[in-house]
Amino acid sequence: MAALAVGAVGLGCMPMSWAYSASQQRGDRALRAVHAALDAGVDLLDTADMYGPFTNELLIGRALKGRRDEAFVSTKCGLLVGDQHIVANGRPGYVRRACDASLRRLQTDVIDLYHLHRADPEVPVEETWGAMAELVTAGKVRALGLSAVGARASRRPGARMHDGTIRQLERVQQVFPVSAVQAELSVWSPEALDALLPWCEARGVGLLAAMPLGNGYLTGTLTPGQGFEPDDLRARHPRFTAEMMAANQPLVVGLRRIAERHGATPAQVALAWVLRQGPHVVPVPGTKREQWAVENAGSAGLELTARDLAEIARLPRARGSWD
């Protein structure tokens, strides 16, 4: 990756304690997944203070005892989790306190990449970003990033998905350099390729591809109609109704066909496709299991052919949308 000195594939830590039946996913199993990823050469660990909340950072802090120098730690601030909803907080004072709290939970003296998880509509984004820049000057943070994962829910009718994100990036770039943007990018959600990735490439900014396995769907391990527990985000996702999961099976069938030619898995093909989008792109697949962490890391060695890429390009567009 040109913009950040990290390995080809990262590890998304969110599923270890948040959004995917979180109550069942803490403990030694998650620690083993982190260690397996590090052993496989994965160094980018992506977390956030809101995951849990707070438990995810605590887990990563535990996992990195004695291994901090092997990891590139990415975390986020800017969202507060309440009983009924999530709210943004971009006030400078809050940002400073949030960073100090994350440092304590992560048991480290510096955060490699600090993301603004979501801009606060009540605070000019330049003020929030200025406070984050002060953390770099103070030596508490090495680089700054902006999360665009929520762009789908916030875009204006008729606009490209990441137009609003790019406007934010242009504003904060005037205050302090952006090192990375985190946005959804996968075979079934390729919208970041339209404008966001070209913006990043032109400026040497890294793109962390969130949800590169389509919330697990592209792995081919989910059964249409299987249902999800209430605390699993997929229970409310339009693409995870029984009807849409069945309708989108041609995507999995296509990935599996390519995988069989390479002796790989559909997940590895999906990640290899993300990697082929350019040197600025790092997929950050989330998992809580060491088996999948190792498998995902192996996708870096999978070379897709022109035939493979052409077949993926011909796959039908995913059905089911937040829009």
Catalytic residues: 51
CA distances 105 to 34, 56, 62, 64, 293, Å, are 16, 9, 9, 11, 23
- Coil, helix or strand for 2? coil
Looking at residue 230, the DSSP 8-state letter turns out to be T
In whole angstroms, what is the distance from residue 271 CA to residue 185 CA?
Answer: 10
- Amino acid identity of 216? G
Maximum Cα interatomic distance, the chain, rounded to a whole number of Å: 54
80-84 LR contacts (CB < 8 Å, sep 24+): 80/50, 80/53, 81/50, 81/53
Q: What is the DSSP code (8-state) at residue 220? A: T
- Which residues 6+ apart lie within 8 Å of 152 measured at CB? 161, 184, 191, 322, 323
Query: In whole angstroms, what is the distance from residue 217 CA to residue 258 CA?
Result: 16
Look up residue 149 and give its amino acid: V
- Among 285, 287, 286, residue whose Cα is nearest residue 275: 285
Phi, psi of 115 (to 5 degrees): -95, 145
Q: Among residues 112, 129, 115, 113, which one has the least CA distance to residue 170?
A: 129
Query: What is the end-to-end Cα distance of the chain in Å, rounded?
Result: 32
- Exposed/middle/buried for residue 173 (C-beta within 10 Å: 0-12, 13-18, 19+): middle
